[in-house]
């Protein structure tokens, strides 16, 4: 999964339709990873990767399917 500013931003409408996604925490983590790299607790980051990333990936896949359905599936 790639999180980057070069990617289109997620619209507020999508965020509003998916309140189960922890949007503020995602932004906060990104800011910490980018700006506080010398102060990172690598154990805590690794724990988040193992615990939280799998569910976030599922949520993002569902959002992507909503926003841009796979044309190969339409028949």
Known catalytic residue at 43: no
Which residue in the list 30, 43, 64, 73 is annotated as catalytic?
30
Known catalytic residue at 62: no
Which residue in the list 5, 7, 9, 35 is annotated as catalytic?
35
CB contact at 8 A, 1 and 60: yes
Distance of CA 10 to the CA centre of its chain: 10
Those residues with Cβ within 8 angstroms of residue 45's Cβ, 6 or more apart along the chain or in another chain: 33
Tell me the catalytic residues: 30, 35
């Amino acid at each position: 999964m790639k999180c980057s500013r070069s990617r289109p931003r997620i619209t507020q409408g999508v965020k509003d339709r998916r309140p189960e996604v922890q949007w503020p925490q995602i932004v906060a983590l990104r800011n910490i990873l980018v700006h506080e790299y010398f102060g990172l607790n690598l154990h805590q980051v690794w724990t988040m990767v193992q615990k939280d990333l799998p569910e976030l990936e599922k949520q993002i896949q569902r959002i992507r399917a909503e926003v841009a359905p796979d044309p190969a599936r339409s028949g």
